[in-house]
Amino acid sequence: MWSVVWAAVRSKAPYVTFPVAFVVGLVGYHLEWFLRGDPQPTAEEDKSISERREDRKLQEIAGKDLTKVVSLKDKLEFAPRAVLNRNRPEKS
């Protein structure tokens, strides 16, 4: 008889475990929110990642003269160099 009971418990375990875990997680989430309160966001947290990236890029190029670029005629290679130059023939 016990083997039948354990087989039934084993087969129905996911149907019992999921709602119990869901309720425990929900209660824990709300308890933590109640204890910690609502944090005030700082100025840096208000910005999205893309806005912070744009600000960083603007700071990087702030002191550079963007009109001075290397001419394509002066560049020796147009394609990136292969790893260890294995796939490129030797230049003479």
| Helix/strand/coil (H/E/C) assignment for every residue in the chain | CHHHHHHHHHHHHHHHHHHHHHHHHHHHHHHHHHHHCCCCCCHHHHCCHHHHHHHHHHHHCCCCCCCCCCCCCCCCCCCCCCHHHCCCCCCC
Each residue's pLDDT tens digit, 1-53: 889 888 888 888 888 899 999 999 999 999 998 898 877 766 666 788 899 89
Is the pTM for the entire model greater than 0.85? no
Residue 58 lies in a domain: yes
Q: How many structural domains compose the chain?
A: 1
Residue 43 lies in a domain: no
Residue 27 lies in a domain: yes
CA 16, CA 9: separation in Å to the nearest integer? 9
Residue 30's pLDDT is 92
